[in-house]
Structure 1
Amino acid sequence: MIDKNKKMEILEGARRWFREVIAKNHIRNTLKLTNPKEFNIHPFLASYLANFLSGNSNPTNIAKALVYPRVLGTSITTSFGQNIQSFTSVLLDAFGSTTSGIDIEFIDQVDGYKKYCQLKSGPNTINKDDVETIAEHFKGVINLARTNNKRIPRDDMIVGVVYGTKNDLSSHYRRITYQYDYPVYAGEDFWLRLTGDSNFYHDLIEAIGSVALESDFSSDLEYVIKELSETEEIKKLSNIM
């Protein structure tokens, strides 16, 4: 189990990582949204969604209907998923793997065995095809180890899901376990195995959440919406109604 000083170092690193990687990317991507070309605008739905959101389809409300889903959902969720491996590799003693198809390798703090892990950000972040890809990668690692006279049990080939719970896991994740017999550990269970600290997952959520106090971007967001609403493309959509 990690000691107190190491834990505080990791949590402070988590704040720094979220602030410098996720938040900065989020802000940079948001500032691009003054340009209508950043959106795949659905001409049949834009005005409807603006009216649904705010009661009318003037240019400002159309801009809001376009910007809000991007900045509050798609943009930051994608950024988090793309950068989560760098977070775990840099902050934890979970070393990036040189094995094809494996993200990190670490000693499981629950059972003491070395784990070969593919990282996934959340409980709904894989699709049907990903299941077979993961299974094939794991099978390849086991077979390669066998040719080198090394045995890797199937239980040591795992999928680690950074947040969520076992009950949250989609049917695709469940297939990895029930069809292919590879464990999937999510959220608190995953972080316990990685750190040996049963409170680490919740402390990590709190640490990253504390960055929110520094993240008042409301005035800049108003500027983005205003600039977008004044473009000819958005004005034309407003005039349709």
Structure 2
Amino acid sequence: MNETDKQMILSKAQQWFLDTIAENHIVNTRKLVDPGEFNINPFLATYLANFLTGNSSPESIAKALVYPRVLGSSITTSFGTNVQKFTSEVLSSFGSTTPGIDIEFTDQVDGHKKYCQLKAGPNTINKDDVESIHGHFGAIQRLSRTNNLRIPSDDLIVGVLYGEHSDLSGHYLRLENDYDHPVIVGNDFWHCLTGDDTFYHDLIAAIVQVAEKADGKRVIEDTIQALAATDRIIQLSALSQR
């Protein structure tokens, strides 16, 4: 893969992250000016406000409500559920027409053609996914034999976009240990795809640039101030100070 191709992936990844992740994140953050967006537990809200800031002022309560929602697991879930969109928009040049395969590429490390299912992170498959993935890979091997081709198990891989091999869940490890399908993770995956052992870090840096442009700090601060000014949060603060 040449430098132009790598820069194209980085540019597409930035645009995908901006359009699919960052913009939705900002929209969902701005919704939090309404107390109705929260299932407020008055005991925990005031406790967490004090735990966070040392007081239960309206602003502190708003922070205790907003921070977990904005910085919590929902954006991780959003990233995971949009992997297919990432595949079609960012890695479209590697797209596969083989059922059950997301991308096909020539491994830039070992030179073998790889048939790859893409997953977001090291904890994003469950028990049923293991059998499904192995089933797809088995069907491909049977079809290849019918066509007088040989595709070994270690060329049928799962590519994980981020993380370390040591972070893999037991479900991923079953694919490797029980079914001999390699799970290539994070830096190793991007190295195999691009031939550049620093590409993963370049990709992270490209996404950071999106965050800088999004100005999330201002959005969060404005949301907290608006939420803190609502009657419900003001009343909750007053009750906690009796």
Deviation at 1:189, TM superposition (A): 0.8
Aligned to 1:6: 5
Aligned to 1:97: 96
Aligned to 1:171: 170
Q: Amino acid of the residue matched to residue 183 of structure 1?
A: P
CA RMSD in angstroms, aligned pairs only: 2.7
> Distance in 2 between the 1:118 and 1:51 partners?
46
Deviation at 1:169, TM superposition (A): 1.9
**113-122 or 230-239: which moved more?**
230-239
Aligned to 1:159: 158
| Aligned residues of 1:114 and 1:156 also touching (Cα < 8 A) | yes
**20-29 or 231-240: which moved more?**
231-240
Report the TM-score, using the length of structure 1 for normalisation: 0.83
Deviation at 1:159, TM superposition (A): 1.0
Q: Amino acid of the residue matched to residue 70 of structure 1?
A: R
> Distance in 2 between the 1:238 and 1:130 partners?
47
Superposition pairs for residues 83-162 of structure 1, below 5 Å?
83-92=82-91, 94-146=93-145, 150-162=149-161
> Distance in 1 between the 2:203 and 2:88 partners?
15
Aligned to 2:79: 80
| Aligned residues of 1:176 and 1:182 also touching (Cα < 8 A) | yes
Listed one character per residue, the Cα deviations across residues 88-141 of structure 1 (whole Å, up to 9, x for unaligned) are 443346533344433222222223333222211122223344333333333344
Superposition pairs for residues 194-213 of structure 1, below 5 Å?
194-213=193-212
- Say if 1:47 and 1:131 are closer, same or farther in 2 by CA, change over 3 A: farther
Aligned to 1:29: 28
Instruction: Report the secondary structure of 1:122's partner residue.
Output: coil
Deviation at 1:165, TM superposition (A): 1.7
> Distance in 2 between the 1:40 and 1:118 partners?
38
Structure 2: 5+ residue stretches without partners:
none
Q: Amino acid of the residue matched to residue 200 of structure 2?
A: Y
Report the TM-score, using the length of structure 2 for normalisation: 0.83
| Aligned residues of 1:18 and 1:208 also touching (Cα < 8 A) | yes
Structure 1: 5+ residue stretches without partners:
none
| Aligned residues of 2:123 and 2:169 also touching (Cα < 8 A) | yes
> Distance in 2 between the 1:34 and 1:223 partners?
9
Deviation at 1:184, TM superposition (A): 0.2
Aligned to 1:49: 48
Aligned to 1:70: 69
**142-151 or 106-115: which moved more?**
142-151
**84-93 or 188-197: which moved more?**
84-93
Identity of aligned residues (%): 62
| Aligned residues of 1:51 and 1:57 also touching (Cα < 8 A) | yes
Instruction: Report the secondary structure of 2:82's partner residue.
Output: helix
Deviation at 1:53, TM superposition (A): 1.3
Aligned to 1:15: 14
Instruction: Report the secondary structure of 1:45's partner residue.
Output: helix
- Say if 1:95 and 1:3 are closer, same or farther in 2 by CA, change over 3 A: closer
